[in-house]
Structure 1
Amino acid sequence: LVVVHQATPRDWTEGEITLLRQVADRTAAEFRRARAMQELQESELYFRQMADSMPQIVWAADEKGVPYWFNRRWHDYTRLPEGHLSAEQWQKAFMEEDLPVMLGGWEEAKRESRPHSVEVRLCRAEDGVMRWHLARANPVQDPNGNVVRWFGTLTDIHEQKLAIEAERQSEFQSATALRMASLGRVDWSLTTNQVDMDARCREFFGFAPEQQLMVQDIFDRIDPADRARVEVAAGESSLHGTLLEIEYGVLVPGKERRLISSISQVAADVDGKPARVYGVLGDVTERRRAEAEREAFVRTIETERANLAAIIEKAPAFICVLRGPEHAVEMVNEKYVELIGRPITPGMPIR
């Protein structure tokens, strides 16, 4: 509101009224501009105070992408001086070999006015350790879509990065151990009935590397003589969440029957309900065949030994069979016992 006062009455001309209106309009515009500027400064101050309290590193850049402000966390972390930093100065805080990827992506993001993110290593000045960070940059645009500034963050992800790498190494070691042991891995989703198999397991069942598998495909390759038993056992295991150890035959078209040994465990979802079955499979055909041959050989030896014992017992001569350098008694007949006049214990040495 603009008020003009004069001590004596007068008639205001049209020009004077127009002038007063212009003064009032300009005064109001200036007042609004000053208020907006004050609110902007207060908002900027609030933003910087809030950013200084964050555990993340926060930065701001002008419309050309030139950084002009970093929060307190940046300076505490890098121990670089406050105020304007040249590109050469702030880039020294990063791992040199990460800069080409980081800066190349940054330049592309500025050209296309789009968000940008990249994983980089930043030096923690306290101990000189290069720690992994997730760097993000987001453009701020005016109503016309023009970029007026950039805001970005650097979030420490070092522990997560190490955990992921450790998990990858563990998976590699497990996969290597499975390959060395000629074992395969299987993962069955109880919600979708989809099955994921590694290359070794697919070889056991005769599936192509790219073939999408359902649990029915697996059961269809099991020997009909074993299938019902396997389905019942798998159903009870998935229902009650129990460990399942089982052997069964697998019939692949055009190949001989193979005997598969499987050990599987049920994993629950967040609600504690069975969600998936994961396990390890191995082809034990040759092992079981060797075991059967060994058992047959042992039975043959035992039969021949029994036959020999019968012959010795019926022989008209005095017979004592000794074993090894200790001359341990293996078997004797009744005539030999009568000859020496005392009982002989099998296994006792004869001196």
Structure 2
Amino acid sequence: MLKSPRGIFDASPDMFAILTDAMPQMVWSTRSDGFHDYYNARWYEFTGVPPGSTDGEGWNGMFHPDDQEEAWSRWRHSLSTGEAYEIEYRLRHHSGAYRWTLGRALPVRDASGAITRWIGTCTDIDDAKRAAEQNELLSRELSHRIKNIFAVIAGLIGLSLRQAPEARSFATSLRDRIASLGRAHEFVRPHSDESRPTSGRTTIHGMLTELFKPYPALDEGRIVLSGDDIAIDDRGATPLALLFHELATNAVKYGALSTDDGRIDLNLVIAGENAVMTWTEHGAPKPLTPPAHPGFGTRLCDISVEKQLGGQLLRSWEPDGLRVVATVRLDNLVRSDTA
């Protein structure tokens, strides 16, 4: 809760103006009833409107017409409940263009808890938002091209099969594995709210079984899943898929799955409020040692578990192969609105 800045507003209003004008953000303030009566210099520089012209309810006309109703609705809700105000909207720039802006406000309360004023900020996020949209577009385009590659490969296998019908069994198995790679790709590629593949919940066992289908070792019984099957949704699925996809890829290249008799045990255990996932390789071709310089894959695993899921990732290089233990809180594997 903000302490009342009465000394700044009443005793030294110039000090408050200097403070807010020194900030790179647009700052505004309202009375307890929501009447806007103050904007700093950044607001007028950004909007180009005459001082005082957006007092009262004039501010709403500065928003994009499609955003005005939502902005009013959120603001009325904050005024009636005292809850913090936060919204993204398009604000008219002095150039005439609309730029995406993050609006926030908090109430100022007196000693009795009554709201005496609201203080808010507007932050220009247009460049960041457009960069994120561009990255999302590029990600979707890359994913589309990768899926097309899988489809082309499957089609070439089908065409080759017509010329060599005696290889039907092998070709069918290979085509199925290519299709599985395409499905696994949906788990490990970056996703936005619109592109997430999971609708509702799944389980870690279900997700990992789909992820490991392209690997012959799964059918051969050399990838063994055991322990508790834990519910997850898209929040947990993609980071965990990235982790185990990277581990499986490395195991095929130079770990346990690079030999004919190597195997992987993946054990999942619910321990109190945590999910503990232990990846243990057996039969690696030679003793592994920690890399002198962690590569991109290692950093990606760390980011997936520690940054995205707030967990812990521990590695140990045993004589028989790599051992990895990932510990993540159960409530970090699902979104709060689906818990």
TM-score by length of 2: 0.49
Q: Which has the larger radius of gyration?
A: 1
Tell me which of the two structures has the higher relative contact order, counting C-alpha pairs closer than 8 angstroms and 6 or more residues apart.
2
